[in-house]
Amino acid sequence: MTTLVCNCNRTMPLDGAALARALGEPIEVHTALCRREAPAFQRAARAPESTLTVACTQERRLFLELAEATEGVPSPEERPIRFVNIRETGGWSRDAAQVTPKIAALLAAARLPEPDPVPTVRYHSQGRLLIIGPLEAAEALADRLGDVWDVTLLANGGAGRQTRTHPVLAGRLTGLTGWLGAFDVQWQEDNPIALDLCTRCNACITACPEGAIGLDYQVDLSRCRAHRDCVRVCEAPGAIDFQREPLAQRATFDAVLDLRPTPAFTQHALPQGYVHLPPTLDAEQRLQRLWGLRDLVGEFEKPKFFRYEQRLCAHGRNEQVGCRACIDVCSASAVRSDVEHDRIVVEPHLCVGCGACTTVCPSGALGYAYPDAAHQGRAIRTLLSAYRAAGGRDAVLLLHSQGAGQRLIEDWGRAARLDAAVQGPPARVIPWALWHTASVGLELWLSAIAYGASQVWVLLTDEEAPQYRTALQEQMAVAEAILQGLGYAGEHFRLLSARDARDLAALDAAARVPPAQGVATPATFATQRDKRATLELALEHLIAQAPAPVGAEIALPAAGAPLGTLQIDTAACTLCMACVGACPAGALQDNPTAPQLRFIEKNCVQCGLCVKTCPEHALQRQPRLWLDPQRREARVLHEQPPFHCIRCGKPFGTLKGVETMLARLSAHPMFQGAAVERLKMCGDCRVIDIHTSRDEVRITDL
């Protein structure tokens, strides 16, 4: 392994020897690696080592071009070059003299292998673009996009040109669904003028006494007074017919450019290929969106960010809906309910990879696939262990997005270099970029504390949908309740918010807080693919290291809690076992040898399916973390004596169940007199009694 660190113009108090000791390998420190010391990079790029890490992101493009132009350097596919930002993330902060452990952590994590590949989602765009909006504005944009796209216009008013350059549709939009390469557009033609027949001779406009026809060549029916002069002058083309029935139309397009003030989609994350360009948008935003639209012709693919295991899903059983957290949190409307098949359905073409659905999923049925939890856990463990090995204390793991979050971190560090009032990222704060901040939740946050972190912070920007903030707050409330209940002092979890550089002062102040109490001995377990398994490993270590638990159980907030028990009304429960069949996690179990309802608290995901399924309404959820080791074992929630067959004495059912059945059927005409006694018999004896009774009417007697 080769690591090149650039202390650009000696602007950082960098200790190369300390870094080498912490990482256990030589570290080359340079001051002008992208300029006069560039040959050192070329030599390292040609070296046979398997990994090359460069601690500079500013000149990433220059280094890649230099590697490509250097003979004997493997291609990026054969040996990728890892780039790490150590300057803005800490080297320029006011406490940069103590930043060596953080730099060691960032360099160690950068050398980890790439995430395992996952299946991809493909888009095929053939260049068919629909522009919806006023005709004049739509035609102007069509001219600018016509060199890339085959443009069709769906006009909703406005004045059009005399020259017919692009196909123009007219009507009322009734439906728009789909994604890049597969938009399904539905509209209704309910105007007397058919644009496909109209020659734009303008005779109808001149003839109309009310001025009800404009240059969009559509009749404003609210102004029309039925003179029908327009019909008379349009006799040859025959484009105007007031008797024409409304006609539903449908077509497919690869992309949609919507110029209307209100978008066709209401979700926060719009489908790929749909661009909303309202009149209120400023020039820079309009240019950015239009420029991006020009690149959407061709073949595209993205990772399939999620994996789904229906057997673990707590959404539904027997057409009863339990957990719907993933549906409620999805900002792209990519998740929908399929109660008929007791599952949810995720449309991968709509999924934007935020991972919020996997974070709120209590059972792990939805998991984040790229990168998966095992990779993220390995990175977190590497960061914290390298930080600790280099002498760091009270580490804060700061999770942020790779987009706006990364830019904000860099602006923060740059501001500390230029503004004496800004401290910059503290030495104990280790930034770690995620594809999306909502993709990591409770089990990995608690794992980070178990690995030795003092605190976990999540930086939110304007990228996140409002429901993401709510979901993360709920998860943090649960995580904090667990640590406080175990006796760990201080605030361990925090959401930080900043829009852009305007909020740097507030962000800088929010980061200057005292550390919280962590574990005495860091954990060494590896995070698992199974979410519940990782959560249990983290809890087991945190409980073992707990300073002073406040009781035998820890009450958890009802919102977002994936742990808890069940309260049962034993007077109402008949042990029908409907709840056992509904439980997706195997938390509720029966006993084949005795009328017992058993419960394994560790398995319960608090989905509520058992509560909704119970015909006697005898169950209620109770979110909590029970500290007794028995939470991993089956315990009896309720049991009753069995009812014995009055004929053969064999036990069947329960005493409570048979009594309830007798009470409910006592007035039924089929169960009067001697017939009611059959309800007290087992299945075999009931059949024997029916066929041997002299009071029964047989078909041979008719």
Peptide bond into 371 cis (omega under 30): yes
Q: What is the pLDDT of residues 319-365, one digit of tens each?
A: 899 999 999 999 999 999 998 899 999 999 999 999 999 999 999 99
Least confident span in 107-111, 199-203, 677-681: 677-681
**And the tokens for 398?**
């700061």
Quick one: pLDDT band at residue 489, thresholds 50, 70, 90? very high
Residue 501 is classified by DSSP as G
350 token code pair:
């709509």
Burial class (CB in 10 A: 0-12, 13-18, 19+), 393: middle
E-strand stretches of 165-222: 168-170, 172-177, 183-189
Per residue in 79-107, pLDDT (tens digit) is 889 999 999 999 999 999 999 999 999 99
Cβ(512)–Cβ(426) below 8 Å? yes
- Could you give the angle at the alpha carbon of 84 between the alpha carbons of 83 and 90, nearest 5°? 160
Give the mean model confidence (pLDDT) for residues 100-122. 94
pLDDT digits (tens, 9 = 90+) for 438-464: 999 999 999 999 999 999 999 999 889
Residue 596 corresponds to which tokens in the numbers above?
């017992």
Tens-digit pLDDT profile for residues 635-675: 999 998 888 888 888 888 787 778 888 888 878 887 777 77
Whether 368 has a pLDDT exceeding 80, the answer reads yes
DSSP conformational letter for 213: B
- Give the Cα separation of 548 and 98 in Å (integer): 32
**What is the pLDDT at residue 684?**
86
User: What average pLDDT does range 284-311 have in this prediction?
Assistant: 94
| φ, ψ dihedrals at 147, nearest 5° | -75, -15
The predicted pLDDT at position 691 comes to 82
Tell which residue, 3, 49, 690, has the closest CA to residue 698.
690
Residue 702 has pLDDT above 80, yes or no: no
How far is the C-alpha of 454 from the C-alpha of 12, rounded, in Å? 26
Contacts with 366 (C-beta within 8 Å, 6 or more apart), sequence order: 306, 307, 308, 313, 326, 344, 346, 357, 358
Q: How confident is the model at residue 38 (pLDDT cuts 50, 70, 90)?
A: very high
Hey, what are 272's tokens? 């790929």
Q: What sign results for the dihedral spanned by CA atoms 622, 627, 628, 632?
A: positive
- What angle (nearest 5°) sits at the alpha carbon of residue 85, between those of residues 83 and 88? 165
Q: Position 400: which residue type?
A: H
Q: Which of 537, 549, 429 is nearest to 489 (CA)?
A: 549
**What integer best gives the mean pLDDT of the chain?**
92
Residue 695's pLDDT is what? 66
* Position 33 pLDDT exceeds 70: yes
Q: 415: which 2 tokens?
A: 């501001």
More confident residue, 699 or 540: 540
Greater model confidence, 663 or 284: 284
Helix, strand, or coil (residue 651): strand
Percent of all residues in the chain with a pLDDT value above 70, rounded to a whole number: 99
DSSP string covering 435-488, please?
A: S-GGG--HHHHHHHHHTT-SEEEEEE-TTS-HHHHHHHHHHHHHHHHHHHHTT-
Are 455 and 493 a contacting pair, CB within 8 Å? yes
Q: Residue 395: how many CB atoms within 10 A of its CB?
A: 26
Q: What is the structure's pLDDT at 376?
A: 96
Enter the pTM of the model: 0.88
* pLDDT recorded at residue 51: 83
Q: Which amino acid is at 508?
A: D
Q: Answer for the pair 437, 400: CB distance below 8 angstroms, yes or no.
A: yes
552 is written with which tokens?
A: 């035998």
Contacts of 175 (CB under 8 A, 6+ apart): 184, 185, 186, 187
Look at residue 700 in the predicted model and tell me its pLDDT: 59
- Give tens-digit pLDDT for 220-237: 888 898 889 899 899 888
- What b/e readout covers 269-308, taking b as 16+ CB neighbours within 10 angstroms? bbbbbbbbbeeeeeeeeeeeeeeebeebbeebebbbbbbb
pLDDT of residue 298: 96
Average the pLDDT over each of 10-24, 53-67, 399-413 and give the range with the smallest value.
10-24
pLDDT of 119 reads 95
pLDDT confidence band for 698 (50 / 70 / 90): low
pLDDT on residue 696: 61
Per DSSP, the residues of 265-289 read --SSSPPTTEEE--TTS-HHHHHHH
Question: pLDDT at position 699, please?
Answer: 57
Tell me the three state secondary structure of residue 428.
coil
Closest C-alpha among 343, 329, 180, 176 to residue 263:
176
Region 19-48: mean pLDDT is 91
400 DSSP β-pair partners: 433
Look at residue 373 in the predicted model and tell me its pLDDT.
94
What is the reported pLDDT for 701?
58
Distance between CA atoms of residues 299 and 478, nearest Å: 43
- Going by pLDDT thresholds of 50, 70 and 90, the confidence category of residue 128 is very high
User: For residue 418, what are its two tokens?
Assistant: 């230029």
Two structure tokens written together for 555: 């009450």
Q: Residue length, the chain?
A: 702
Nearest alpha carbon to residue 606 among 615, 617, 591, 619: 619
Tokens of 20: 């080498």
Torsion of CA 521, 526, 531, 532, to 10 degrees: -60
Q: Looking at residues 22-51, what average pLDDT do you find?
A: 90
Among residues 61, 22, 9, 66, which one has the least CA distance to residue 40? 66
pLDDT of residue 57: 93
